[in-house]
Amino acid sequence: MLQYNLQQLKSTIIDFYNITKIMIVLYDDQFKLVYAYPTKNNSFCSALRKSKPMLKKCLDCDRTALEYCKQQKRLFIYRCHFGLTEAIAPILENDTPIGYLMYGQTLTEIDMRQIRQNLENMPIDPSLNKEKLMESLDTVVTVSRETLTSAARILDMCATYLLSREIIRAQQPPLQLKIDQYIKDNISSPELTLSSICKHFSISRSTLYTISSQAWGLGISDYIRHCRIERAKKLLLKKSMPIYEVSQACGFNVANHFTKTFKQLVGIRPKEYVREYAEITDKKN
């Protein structure tokens, strides 16, 4: 659940809309709608959702995008099932998504041509009037691709602003916070396992798995690995620490196991990660 200052929340969301003219929505960590502005969908999306199959596709598309953002924990720009552009920015507290800002129901001029073609090729549906849908396309906000990208970045900034100004914060179960802190405090220990956490907090494996899945979107073992590798990424950039010391500081007894796990989660080996960072730094300088 979320705790928020409704007046300040509304003010921030409406400010975004006044600047961009793009609909913006706030969801909580369970993907439940908290606030939207404007409060109603545009005429095109409203008309499209009168069809039960289309409504299901819209809801499934939203859910899939939110799930992806929850896993990636970063700004996500995409096209919905019908071709409209949308973006989601996670609101992260201690690297845990507690909510999501989404903008949507927008088009570029190129998208508009594709949408019209989609409408023409759409199967016959008695609940939809293609002619009225074509007319209602004029209600969809149409801007350049560059403007949509900039709006997405501003959306991401808004997510950070809401949290930093404590306009929004998580109403989290105390046990979840204690478990997360326990993991962070013991991340360098190879003995940090599902069993050790259950024993420390006197809870069952199923309870721990439920807490982990709801809080972080991962099983507890996967979350521990995630925390170990996130710590490793920071330590690797300290040039004074060799890889075997980093692996030990992150709870890996065997350096090869660390390297294998790092590549699985990051996509490249630790040495390649350090090399890529160095190249990016050199370019900036």
Band the pLDDT of 215: cuts 50, 70, 90. Answer: confident
Rounded Cα distance, 28 and 215, in Å: 12
Q: What is the pLDDT of residue 171?
A: 75
Whether residues 185 and 89 fall in one domain: no
Rounded Cα distance, 186 and 218, in Å: 19
Q: What is the pLDDT of residue 34?
A: 95
Q: CA quadruple 198, 201, 207, 209: dihedral positive or negative?
A: negative
User: Would you call the peptide bond into 242 cis, given omega within 30 degrees of 0 as the criterion?
Assistant: no
Please tell me whether the overall predicted TM-score, pTM, comes out greater than 0.85 for this model.
no
Whether residues 147 and 268 fall in one domain: no
Q: Is the pLDDT of residue 285 over 50?
A: no
Q: One-letter amino acid identity for 266?
A: V
Whether residues 234 and 253 fall in one domain: yes
Q: One-letter amino acid identity for 106?
A: T
Whether residues 154 and 87 fall in one domain: yes
CA geometry: angle at 38 spanning 36 and 41, to 5°? 90
Q: Span 42-71, mean pLDDT? A: 93
Rounded Cα distance, 114 and 42, in Å: 18
Give the chain's domain count: 2
Band the pLDDT of 280: cuts 50, 70, 90. Answer: low
Whether residues 105 and 29 fall in one domain: yes
Q: What is the pLDDT of residue 227?
A: 95
Q: What is the pLDDT of residue 173?
A: 65
Band the pLDDT of 238: cuts 50, 70, 90. Answer: confident
Q: What is the 3-state secondary structure (H, E, C) of the chain?
A: CEEECHHHHHHHHHHHHHHHCCEEEEEECCCCEEEEECCCCCHHHHHHCCCHHHHHHHHHHHHHHHHHHHHHCCCEEEECCCCCEEEEEEEEECCEEEEEEEEEEEECHHHHHHHHHHHHHCCCCCCCCHHHHHHHHHHCEECCHHHHHHHHHHHHHHHHHHHHCCCEEECCCHHHHHHHHHHHHCCCCCCCCHHHHHHHHCCCHHHHHHHHHHHHCCCHHHHHHHHHHHHHHHHHCCCCCCHHHHHHHCCCCCHHHHHHHHHHHHCCCHHHHHHHHHHHHHHHC
Q: One-letter amino acid identity for 213?
A: S
Q: What is the pLDDT of residue 282?
A: 53
Q: Is the pLDDT of residue 253 over 70?
A: yes
Q: Look up the CATH number of the domain holding residue 210.
A: 1.10.10.60
Q: Span 148-174, mean pLDDT? A: 91
Whether residues 9 and 96 fall in one domain: yes
Domain residues for the domain of 201 are 174-284
φ, ψ of residue 60 in degrees (nearest 5)? -65, -40
CA atoms within 13 A on the CB side of 197: 30
Report the chain's mean pLDDT, rounded to a whole number. Answer: 90
Domain end residue (candidates: 127, 148, 170): 170
Give the pair of three-digit tokens for residue 100: 């999501």
Q: What is the pLDDT of residue 3?
A: 87
Whether residues 109 and 178 fall in one domain: no
Q: What is the pLDDT of residue 124?
A: 81
Q: How far apart are the first and last CA of the chain?
A: 44
CB 91 within 8 A of CB 13: no
Percent of the chain at pLDDT above 90? 67
Domain end residue (candidates: 140, 170, 200): 170
Question: What's the pLDDT tens digit per position in 98-136?
Answer: 899 999 999 988 888 888 888 888 888 888 888 888 889
Domain end residue (candidates: 170, 201, 228): 170
Whether residues 7 and 122 fall in one domain: yes
